[in-house]
Structure 1
Amino acid sequence: MFYARKIFSGSLSRNSCRSFCLTRISCSNTKGLILGVFEKAQEDDVLQFTEAGEAFDKSLSGKLRELLSYGPAMKKGKTRVFCGLHQDFPNIAVVGLGKKSSGVCSLELLDEGKENIRTAVSVGCRQLQSLEIPSVEVDPCGDPQSAAEGAVLGLFEYDELKEKKKTAVTVQPFRSTENEAWQKGVMYAEGQNLARRLMETPANLMTPTIFADKIQQKLSSLSGKVQVHIRAKSWIEEQKMGAFLSVAKGSDEAPIFLEIHYNGSNNSNEDPLIFVGKGITFDSGGISLKPSSGMDAMRADMGGAATVCSAILTAAALHIPLNIKGLAPLCENMPNGKANKPGDVVKAKNGKTIQVDNTDAEGRLILADALCYAHTFNPKVIVNAATLTGAMDVALGSAATGVFTNSDWLWTHLQQASIVTGDRVWRMPLFQHYTKQVAESQLADLNNVGKHAKSGGACTAAAFLKEFVTVPHWAHLDIAGVMSNKDEIAHLGKGMSGRPTRTLVELADRLSQDKQIM
């Protein structure tokens, strides 16, 4: 009456299968169920299901536990799929949740229990999707938000431009009354998936204008609390954003300054949190041309803009009681006849002159003007995100987002948020040592690269941005290292990651509850 399939962790033996299996039942086009099981602490321990899994197994008179005992131990992130055991759920994926005692690890700086749930559920969902099962119910595994995040993140696939697409799968919680927590997880994950979709889209289909229009369309359903302003080149010129314009002039695509206002606080006059995101929709490097190998990934150089815009959309959908403004300078960095040349000097909005010795260090130029503009809103907190430097990838790889901040208070909130989301951050230095390297310029007030260009590149970039910040609580998130995912994070498939969207949302939620500053 059932069929057991090997998924990563092994299968039942042929003899044991024969003793139970009378008919092989097709797994296609039927309903699926994902159940969690914890790793045994000792070899002779009794297999321990989650609460939902235990109740389900009792309804089967212990059949599922018996079948699992024939195969190898259920390890973290492994999955076994059974078909035909239950009339309502012909397809059951049992997923390994790791140790039940898993929690916040001070060395790993994440909640391993939550991360194990995300990983297990995502793997289970993908396995059932591969069997073309369109509807799946998910065991909340004791944490409905993390389970929902794992399901929705794990099922994401950018196949919009392909003729053959993977099976669309709908997910919902199994026998759970905690629907609010589940829906919160869905919204967190959908926000990150939006950022992933924006970042994956080819640059010819995601120009500055298209990006702004996409965000406006996404926010249209929230028009009561959200206003979107798409600022054209003439407005940028009026604002005297010379650094931003100097980058944009190298492309035939018109620059856009995208501005989002979310008024979530009951006090409309409350000083806002401001998110600023780098929005280079394609980065060729300009005259300082990048190598052609891997340049296609530079369609995602607007990852900062994608993550902050997606985070604001999510915050608005969750009705987080905080005023948030999002600013995204959008343009391409291309090498036409009008492009910046190494050695050119440009003037930023605050009047500071900048010697552009490397046109591939363009992100800090557009952010400089955006940070200046952010101060006009009298913010208490500014957080900017940018795929800014290859040096950040060298320093931390994809393990964590590098954070440079002038505020211990803001750092604490960021770190706590990242522990919950599993999308880690790591604090980097903002020493005067680095400021001196960008402030000593032959022709201008600042140089857009440090005088020791091959050393401390992420740190000198942050020091450059700091020259355009006066608020006491500012953080620069260099997300270059976490821009894409290969196999490092199990609940994210290969491709653009959308990190750290969920951490930004969680940060906003935490700041809304901390009245010390906000």
Structure 2
Amino acid sequence: MDYHAKSEPLDSLSTPCAVLGFYQKRKLTPSALALDEQLDGLLQKLLKRDDIEGKPGDILALPHLPEGGIERVILVGLGKKEELKPGTYRKALAAAAKALKDANVKQAASFLHEAEVEGRDAAWQIRQFVEILEASLYRFTQMKSETENHKARLAKLVFQTGADAAKAAIAQGQAIANGMNLAKELANLPGNVCTPTYLAEQAEKVGKKQKKLKVKILDESDLDELGMGAFLSVSKGSHEPAKLIVMEYHGAADKDEKPYVLVGKGLTFDAGGISIKPSAAMDEMKYDMCGGAGVIGTLAAVVEMGLPLNVVGLVPASENLPDGKANKPGDIVKSMAGLTIEILNTDAEGRLLLCDVLAYAQRYEPAAVIDVATLTGACVVALGKVVSGLWSNDEALAGAVLQAGEASFDRVWRMPLLDDYQEQLKSNFADLANIGGPDGGSITAACFLSRFAKEYPWAHVDIAGTAWKNGADKGATGRPVPLLTQYLIDRAAESAAAE
């Protein structure tokens, strides 16, 4: 998809399709009103005839206009003008994206950014449309011998604005959408294809595109030498060797500037180990690497945007399967940090990967560390599939992640990280247990990780409810690429403002 920003007079605009907005009670946005005047009130007449009021997502498609350079029009309902919030606007954009696909046009001009969205500017609106449109066009076809026949796809969208910020918004939107699509593509692959080795190879491909990004892969002998006993214990039941994917991006002018470290759980398939999962929906456990896919997608977006930051991506990749060598309930392993862990449930394996990599992250003397993981079903119970869970040991970092979530609409909700919950992780035989019982499972998982992240500002994001959809729309969502990328965009903006 090609996106452009260009301001042209409406009366001389030539386009196969114009996308314009209208509010409830059929109140047209400025350009829609101007076009209606050119057409002698045709838009208003048709809205009244079809009894379309302008609720969020309402669509009126005019397949043919009687005169002028605009061949057809799509009017998109925005709801009440005084109540147009970001979520409502995104709903309208999703409806517009579908209408554009159904219209079977190759080019279109959008005026939707004229709407006044509460707390958002036109640049945000443009970026959101790019991301939503790209998401609507995405199809996973890698594993199909015959792809479905789809109507001709939209190839070009022109945002009718002369604002300089529009070009930056388009570039950001495209980079984020590309990162999300990469994350989706990796996550949607089956576990017999997307193994830890395959995941590492895909990260290396991203590294080959940019000199500023260096990718190295640590194998099991390297992990053993580092003392990552917790990480290594997870892959013992699998024939696929574990890998630690290390992606180092040097975008700051000062190569020694402290990096932001992103850690993503890369469990390419999780059967639960000896504590095996129920068979129903176990196929969805190929999505247990969405955190790792999200980190790889974020680094790809950072590279595409050329952000002036130093960023490190760490993805521990493994499988968790049952066999004679697999972890057993009651086993005790030693982590890189020196703490011993009693494994009471082998299906609580993600934290065993992450704890060693959080210890490894310390060597970078990071400005901040954010880990993202499909870590607990308990987080889905607590928060559903709308927002991701957030825990942090640093107020400034927590605030920045929350702000990034709101700006990107990849939202998070702050959860408690109280010492009281640490009591549930006590073990009679080791320094701590890997589970804290049925109560507050997402919180005790975060408390477990916090033991290994004491030396730097750290945030944990549980994406178990938001990383993929099930049912008829089964597939990866590409989250948390927008959240992580927005966080880094904000840090780059802060750094530029301070200079």
**In structure 1, what is the Cα distance between the partners aligned to 2:208 and 2:32?**
41
Q: Which string of whole-angstrom CA distances, capped at 9 and with x for unpartnered residues, describes residues 432-467 of structure 1?
A: 1111211x11221111011xx111110110111011
- Equivalent residues of 1:192, 1:307 under 8 A apart: yes
Aligned partner of residue 302 in structure 1, secondary structure: helix
**In structure 1, what is the Cα distance between the partners aligned to 2:401 and 2:99?**
34
Structure with the bigger percentage of helix: 2
**In structure 2, what is the Cα distance between the partners aligned to 1:182 and 1:94?**
22
Superposition map of 1:160-171 within 5 A: 160-162=142-144, 163-165=146-148, 166-167=150-151, 168-171=153-156
Aligned partner of residue 379 in structure 1, secondary structure: coil
Specify the alignment match of 2:126 in structure 1: 144
Q: CA deviation at 1:116?
A: 3.1
Specify the alignment match of 2:161 in structure 1: 176
Aligned partner of residue 203 in structure 1, secondary structure: coil
Specify the alignment match of 2:255 in structure 1: 268
Alignment partner of 1:419 is 2:391: no
Specify the alignment match of 1:479 in structure 2: 463
Q: CA deviation at 1:83?
A: 0.7
Specify the alignment match of 2:434 in structure 1: 448
Which deviates more, 195-204 or 51-60?
51-60
What amino acid is the match of 1:357?
A: L
Q: CA deviation at 1:402?
A: 0.5
Specify the alignment match of 1:511 in structure 2: 491
Structure 1 pair 197–89 and aligned structure 2 pair: CA distance change class (3 A):
farther
What percent identity do the matched residue pairs reach?
37
Superposition map of 1:293-372 within 5 A: 293-372=280-359
Alignment partner of 1:254 is 2:233: no
Residue 70 of structure 1, aligned match among 36, 45, 49? 49
What amino acid is the match of 2:445?
A: A
- Equivalent residues of 1:36, 1:96 under 8 A apart: yes
Residue 141 of structure 2, aligned match among 134, 159, 176? 159
Q: CA deviation at 1:148?
A: 1.6
Alignment partner of 1:227 is 2:214: yes
Q: CA deviation at 1:53?
A: 3.2
Structure 1 pair 238–421 and aligned structure 2 pair: CA distance change class (3 A):
same
Aligned partner of residue 169 in structure 1, secondary structure: coil
- Equivalent residues of 1:391, 1:458 under 8 A apart: yes
Q: CA deviation at 1:405?
A: 0.4
Specify the alignment match of 1:27 in structure 2: none
Residue 128 of structure 1, aligned match among 83, 90, 100? 100
Q: CA deviation at 1:122?
A: 2.4
- Equivalent residues of 1:118, 1:151 under 8 A apart: no
Q: CA deviation at 1:100?
A: 2.8
Q: CA deviation at 1:430?
A: 0.9
Q: For this pair of structures, how many residues does the alignment match? A: 466
- Equivalent residues of 2:105, 2:154 under 8 A apart: yes
What amino acid is the match of 2:357?
A: A
**In structure 1, what is the Cα distance between the partners aligned to 2:326 and 2:102?**
48
Specify the alignment match of 2:78 in structure 1: 97
Residue 279 of structure 2, aligned match among 285, 292, 303? 292
**In structure 1, what is the Cα distance between the partners aligned to 2:408 and 2:129?**
12
Query: TM-score scaled to structure 2, two decimals?
Result: 0.88
Which deviates more, 401-410 or 166-175?
166-175
User: What do you get for the CA RMSD once the two structures are aligned?
Assistant: 2.4
- Equivalent residues of 1:126, 1:154 under 8 A apart: yes
Q: CA deviation at 1:31?
A: 4.4
Aligned partner of residue 158 in structure 1, secondary structure: coil
- Equivalent residues of 2:389, 2:461 under 8 A apart: yes
What amino acid is the match of 1:468?
A: F
Q: CA deviation at 1:494?
A: 5.0
**In structure 1, what is the Cα distance between the partners aligned to 2:319 and 2:54?**
49
**In structure 2, what is the Cα distance between the partners aligned to 1:295 and 1:64?**
51
Specify the alignment match of 2:446 in structure 1: 462
